[in-house]
Structure 1
Amino acid sequence: MDLPPEELQFLTISDILKESISIPKQSPNTFYLITICLIFPLSFAILAHSIFTHPILTHLQDNPNGPQTSREWTELLTFQFCYLIFLFAFSLLSTAAVVFTVASIYTSKNVSFQSTMSAIPSVLKSGVWHLASVVSVLEPIYGFEAMNKSYELLNGRSQMAFMLVLGYLMICGMINGIFGSIVVNGGEDYGIFSRIVVMGFLVGVLVIVNLVMLLVQSIFYYVCKSYHHQEIDKSALCNHLGGYLGEYVPLRSSIQLENMDV
């Protein structure tokens, strides 16, 4: 995104979305593998877990004092616990992989699925959440310090962040609502084949939505940095990314965000 600093700070949500959608074209194979190996399992689990919990919840509601109530509650809680662990793990993995890949593209660093996967164990040592997790990947700060930095970056851009998150949650809510009404509860009105087709379509849509949202997080970091007129040292960033792979990249020059192809 070749714009001067005074224009970058006025980027709209549509500009960010447009740039996010264009990024995978620069390394299609890498993003394809990230999507298949990380984002697809995450998206499938988000929707499909209700297929397994719905029968148990229905039986518990119909038979609150049944002889197997204790066992069913144990099964339900165990399943939910495993689901939350899986959700957290793959959410963190997906975020780290996408942020690392986008940053590598911006620094003209060779990027592949193998290099991204090999960097993830080191990246995970610095994991937090949402924009703070992006900060942890791209800057040598972690934990609460990264959360404080993300809070500072959001200052002045919190309304845009709210709109992006709200839009994401609304789309996810619509997908979950359709999934629940047709796939989970639509057994009497829809055949098995129709429900499978709808499930596949909705999972595919959610995969795309999750990928775009992860890309948006990465772009939003640079937008916030530009808004606060914070310098981005491209060679230092390249060196930082290389550190995850055990590489050493000598610093060459410092450039401003306006010289980057964001």
Structure 2
Amino acid sequence: MDRGQEEMQFLGFFGIFKESYKIISSWRKLFTNITLAFILPLSFILPCSRAIVYTIACIHAARELTFKTIISVVPKVWKRLLVTFLSIFFVIFLYLVVAALVLIIWAVSVGQMHVMGVAVLAVLVVLFTSGLFYLATIWHLATTVSVLEETYGFAAMVKSKNLIKGKLGLAIAVFFILQPAMGLNHMAFKRLVVEGTDMGMANRVVYAIICFLLLSTGILFQLVIQTVVYFVCKSYHHENIDKSALSDHLEVYMLGDYAPLKAKDVQLFRV
């Protein structure tokens, strides 16, 4: 990441993807090792995925980075991430409960009125979907905050909510642009591997490997993009991160027990 932090705020939709691709290309060997070690076999385990966040932060702080270092860091962030994950799960659970209650109220009050009922339901569906996208965007950024800052859990969610102000549309678009492609990959896996009994076992194995590699690549890009968005949001709010302080913050993960820096140390000043 050779851009100055103040320049990061001006990255748009395509700029974020271009910057993410540049990072992966520049550190191809390291990201290949991370993908093979963490993302490929453990695509749905959260702390494996957060190794990407740590890697991007080290690149941003111009720290010397090796694959061995990343492996040693992974076990030391999972507790903070678990607290954040449980906090987000709790909030989404409450959101779904409230949505269910609203649906019940709709069914009792206007559900029997055909035209009015359908119109109200359409509005409720739009609001529900928008809220879900908003919470998911906060979720993505909160996990990054949990690794790179001292806050985690509900505090990380609040920090994430504040960071995406002014960049909400961009953050949602960027976070979910890869979802259709990953959805198509899932459909292809189901059609060619799970249901493709007439294609022969050898062909099904080949298709399974291809789909799994595509899935892992998609997850890698999503995680790199997620971290780039974090720096874009920080830059937009003029929350400059001193690289030496960030480097010291990351160094703590390698020293044993986690003892986070204070916010004033990581975010030295507002421009």
Q: TM-score, normalised by structure 1?
A: 0.71
Q: Which residue of the partner structure matches residue 68 of structure 1?
A: none
1:23 paired with 2:32, answer no
* TM-superposed deviation, 1:256: 8.7
Unaligned runs of 5+ residues in structure 1 are: 44-86
> What is the CA deviation profile of residues 208-258 of structure 1, one whole-angstrom value per residue up to 9, with x for unaligned ones?
11101010011010000111111211111111000111189xxx9999999
* TM-superposed deviation, 1:35: 0.5
Distance 1:9 1:126, change over 3 A: same
Unaligned runs of 5+ residues in structure 2 are: 85-138, 260-264
Q: Distance in 2 between matches of 1:92 and 1:168?
A: 21
Q: Distance in 2 between matches of 1:132 and 1:121?
A: 19
Q: Distance in 2 between matches of 1:186 and 1:192?
A: 9
> What is the CA deviation profile of residues 45-90 of structure 1, one whole-angstrom value per residue up to 9, with x for unaligned ones?
xxxxxxxxxxxxxxxxxxxxxxxxxxxxxxxxxxxxxxxxxx3xx2
Pairs aligned (count): 207
User: Within 5 A, what are the aligned runs for 1:4-23?
Assistant: 5=6, 8-23=8-23
Instruction: Give 1:106's match in structure 2, choosing from 60, 63, 72.
Output: 60
Q: Which stretches of structure 1, 4 residues or longer, exceed 2 Å deviation after superposition? A: 1-5, 7-10, 24-30, 252-258
1:91 paired with 2:92, answer no
Identity of aligned residues (%): 36
Q: Distance in 2 between matches of 1:253 and 1:153?
A: 15
Q: Which residue of the partner structure matches residue 185 of structure 1?
A: 195
Q: Which residue of the partner structure matches residue 226 of structure 1?
A: 235
Q: Which residue of the partner structure matches residue 212 of structure 1?
A: 221
Q: Which residue of the partner structure matches residue 158 of structure 1?
A: 168
Matched residue type, 2:236: Y
Secondary structure at 2:241 match in 1: coil
RMSD: 2.6
Secondary structure at 1:215 match in 2: helix
Distance 1:243 1:231, change over 3 A: same
Q: Which residue of the partner structure matches residue 138 of structure 1?
A: 148
Q: Distance in 1 between matches of 2:72 and 2:160?
A: 26
Matched residue type, 2:31: F
Q: Distance in 1 between matches of 2:233 and 2:160?
A: 9
* TM-superposed deviation, 1:31: 1.7
* TM-superposed deviation, 1:10: 3.2
